[in-house]
Amino acid sequence: MTVRERAGLAGARRVVVKVGSSSISGENAHKIQPIVEALAAAHARGTEVVLVSSGAIATGMPYLLLDERPVDLATQQAAAAVGQNVLIYRYQDALRPFAIVTGQVLLTAGDLENPTHRSNARRAMERLLGLRILPIVNENDTVATHEIRFGDNDRLAALVAQLIGADALVLLSDIECLYTRPPGEPGARPIDRVEFGDDLHGFEFGSVVVNSVGTGGAATKVSAARLAATAGVGVLVTSADLVEEALRGAEIGTWFAPNPAAPVPAGTAPVHTSSTI
């Protein structure tokens, strides 16, 4: 059942949560614990949770003695290969006290465009959820090409939410909500709610930001939210620091209302991989 309002997150059947590199790596690595605690609480309420987590490259960088995100593809792939292993260990270690087992799922956008790969991915994730295992999804950075340089896991999270018929998608950011323009600029106003079909072209979300650990930004979250909402999945964009409140249905963040006329349940619809703000 699609969650139509934020409050419905507390009783959602299935939720996809996405967290970015900057929220869980470097000096913020300790934030994995509170994120895990929030996911475990939702899991205990009976919600099936899928975590889409960036951070493989950022987590691997110190092991390669890198101070900044590498710019060449081969080194990005090497950092991802090392970091993904460490990242999953950190999540599993944090989840161990809650007796929750994780399952690693590495995908590319291309996997979700190929009918056979898409079917296999859906079947595997449905089985993991049926076994009460918490899937942790990331882009398969060791083989990705275009996506690793310009993509962001916000879009992957939207595709996964559509793939498995999630009731809602929670995109975690560095700020509590989206604004009509960069929040540091004069006149920036918080956006509480975006109805399906609202025209957002007058807002200034900025371009994709590439920082020392990852890629992303408000624009990618808006695009991903619109993509998921079109498929009938409600989306909340809020801060990683507020993940527990988000999953309990608090009135926080920016809510993207799902398409009320989505023709088929999200889990059975073909996966469409493009969207515009």
18 a known binding residue? yes
Amino acid at 142: T
Q: In the chain, what are the domain boundaries? A: 6-268
Render pLDDT for 85-109 as a digit per residue (tens, 0 to 9). 999 999 999 999 999 999 999 998 7
54 a known binding residue? yes
21 a known binding residue? no
pLDDT at 194: 94
199, HSE (Cβ side, Cα atoms, 13 Å) = 2
Structure-token pair, residue 113: 């465009």
Per-residue burial over 147-166, b if 16 or more Cβ lie within 10 Å, else e, is bbeebbbbbbbbbbbbbbbb
Fold of 6-268: Carbamate kinase (3.40.1160)
Conformation bin of residue 165: beta by default, left when phi > 0, alpha when psi is -120 to 50: left
pLDDT at 75: 93
What is the spatial distance between Cα 96 and Cα 153, in angstroms, rounded to a whole number? Answer: 25
Q: How confident is the chain (277 residues) per 10-residue block, as mean pLDDT?
A: 89 96 88 97 97 94 93 91 95 97 90 90 97 95 60 86 96 92 86 90 60 61 94 96 97 95 54 45
Angle subtended at Cα 229 by Cα 168 and Cα 11, rounded to the nearest 5 degrees: 20
Spatial CA neighbour of 10 closest among 195, 248, 239, 242? 248
pLDDT at 210: 39
Q: How many residues does the chain have?
A: 277
pTM recorded for the entire structure? 0.89
Are residues 53 and 259 in contact, defined by beta-carbon separation less than 8 angstroms? no
What is the spatial distance between Cα 255 and Cα 205, in angstroms, rounded to a whole number? Answer: 16
What is the spatial distance between Cα 57 and Cα 54, in angstroms, rounded to a whole number? Answer: 8
pLDDT at 271: 46
What is the biggest distance separating any 2 CA atoms in the chain, rounded to whole angstroms?
51
